[in-house]
A and B are shown apart, each in its own frame.
Chain A
Amino acid sequence: MNGRRLWAIVIKELRQLRRDRITLAMILGIPVIQLVLFGYAINTNLRGLAAGIADQSHTAGSRALVMDMLATGVVKPVAMANTPNQLMAMLRRGTISIGIVLPPDFERRRIDGREVAQVLVDGSDTAVQSAAAQLAQVPIDSAAPDTRAPATSTPRTGRISVVGFYNPQRRSAINIVPGLIGVIMTMTMVLFTAIAIVRERERGNMELLIATPLSSAELMLGKVLPYIVIGLVQTSVILALGTWLFAVPIRGSVLDVYLAAGLLILANLSLGLLISTRAQSQFQAMQMTFFVFLPSILLSGFMFPFAGMPKAAQWIAEVLPLTHFLRLIRGVMLRGASLGEMWTDVLALVAFIGVMMGAAILRFRKQLD
């Protein structure tokens, strides 16, 4: 490893990057646009679902329960009905997403501890289903606060109240922004390095470089170093915008945030390098990048909860650097944890970097065949 040669590669990359206006714009544009887009648009916490209500009981208790349900903000009443059948017709037509049925024997059932109300859900949207679960958790004793009926303790009616730790207001942005650092890094970092070497091969620069004393490790590291800086700049942009636009807290240490980001950046850069030793054209490099990118988004826990995935999917997810990064960054930013407390995920990332970088340097041979 020769410092002068390594530095020459770094300087060359930076000079080329400085002249590549579009890539430069992408480096800053991608995080800003995605953050604003995802931060505002992705809202897993549904509000104001159109609801139809069929109160066949017309008692003070039933009306109180309906008011409680409306108070959650999950539903917005758009129609009243007399029978459950009418609600089902509306569901089918799509005029409502949720129907609430309070049977004529509502008071009787409450005293007996049987189910007091039925929530009809448009199951074609899973997000709506999970929102309806919130409705089912409305404590029914509040409907009759003066009568402490023993029925309320029966398991079927469920007095389970959901208390949201770490994100009590259930704001999606708080979950999304830390994860978004990871998603944006996965998208840009892998692609940048994957293309960086393939482009030189396509333009013929590589044939010149491999005929010089430049070593594989110097070339690989020289290509990676500038992008670490770029990745950290992107991280800062997302963090700054996240705090400013969405009031996302950083409860742990900022150093830990950057360390975690640095690990993910290196992991993705090494993966990009490995791709670039394999891909013959920039187009192939892009395809391979997306082959990694899509599972990263879907399986890492960014979109869907990790715990809910089948075992096989979880194994795949454990291989993806984004999965470990998400655990780290959510831990640090939202729960105020330190990296030391989550050392298994740190170790997983370090191992990933070692394997990918080693494979890339070994695979990259200073030969044309």
Chain B
Amino acid sequence: MSNKIAIILLVCIGLVLLLAISELPLYGAPDNSAQNYVSERYIEGAVSDTGALNMVSAIVIDYRAYDTLIETTVLFTAVIAVFMVLKKAPDRKGEPK
């Protein structure tokens, strides 16, 4: 019984998602909302704004520097998590167990 309910629910969710996809604009169409003044500004002004020829670097480290700052902190957190799980705490004399 619960299987049937699950299947019906899944079909309903799938139909809703397919409806949403059919409303999406065509990939690469000129009137997409993705092709607005932001991307134009990046493409036209990257070299004069940052002096970097690699536009990806210009965006990642100059325009979106905050994002990269926190991204490096993510790596830091990963190392801390590994240390918490694997490293053994030194005992009171300061020597590892």
The finding on whether chains A and B are genuine partners in a shared complex, rather than unrelated, reads no
